Amino acid sequence: MQTLIITTIQTDLKWEDKAANLSLLEKKINSLKNKTEVVILPEMFTTGFSMQPHLFAENMEGETIAWMKEISNKNKVALTGSIIIKENENYYNRLIWMLPNGYYGYYDKRHLFAYAKEDQHYTAGNKRLIASIKGWKINLQICYDLRFPVWARQSYNENNEPEFDILIYVANWPEKRNHAWKTLLCARAIENQCYVIGVNRVGTDGNGIYHSGNTSIIDPLGEILYHMADEEDIFTMTLKKERLTETRTKFPFWKDADDFLIR
């Protein structure tokens, strides 16, 4: 399984309007004409970056999970993005990794954006999610996690096999800090010697904050393979394991990395 076809969807989101967002995203996904295997949506793709989870949270048997199962199965793709979930009286910014057979994994955002009071409304997660598809291993993270390299740090086992091949960030990252977004995506690719995919939204949210997107796909050497700013866009690319293997073999910097544990 030397290739993986991924599709990024950079879109404007209707503020706190789940029905409208599910409808527009369904049309976009169903419109895909070329084969793809993974479709990536932005953070909080049903609402935008809302601090009103008490109004919009669903459970894991809710409408959006059912929608993801249907869309994933119909289009035979892995589908991922984050939504607002309520569980045990807590609210989570939860990324869902949905497979066509209805099986899924999830990741609760570890680093909550205190600057926007996200930490006052949501509960932080404490476990990473490394998904697997076609022999590719994918580390799935959310927006503000990008600023914390330890949480994304690559590790290798006793057989010198890396923990992951792709690092994905889904986001609602404001245009005002787009330089940090673009810089840190490249940094995560270089330091972890992996592909990095950052999928952000565009448009102005209900708080008047503009998002310029800057959705990007970056190779293990930090070279930008795709970048789009300010416009809605759907982009499909085939990633190649060969590029990963070549980079890690030619530049085995990972052998000199520090050992550490995350508590």
Q: Going along 24-89, which residue ranges are E strands?
A: 38-40, 78-87
Among 143, 182, 186, 194, which one carries the catalytic annotation? 143
- DSSP H helices, 76-221, are 149-152, 178-192
- CA dist., res. 171 & res. 183, Å (int): 15
Among 14, 18, 37, 43, which one carries the catalytic annotation? 43
- CA dist., res. 65 & res. 111, Å (int): 23
Kindly give the pairing relationship between strand 78-87 and strand 38-40. parallel
Among 14, 18, 69, 109, which one carries the catalytic annotation? 109
Instruction: State yes or no: is 43 an active-site residue.
Output: yes
CB atoms within 10 A of CB 87: 14
Instruction: State yes or no: is 143 an active-site residue.
Output: yes
Sheet with 233-240: strands ordered across: 104-108, 90-98, 78-87, 38-40, 3-10, 233-240
- For the chain, how many helices (H) and strands (E)? 6, 13
Q: Of 59, 67, 111, which Cα lies nearest the Cα of 84?
A: 59
The catalytic residues are: 43, 109, 143
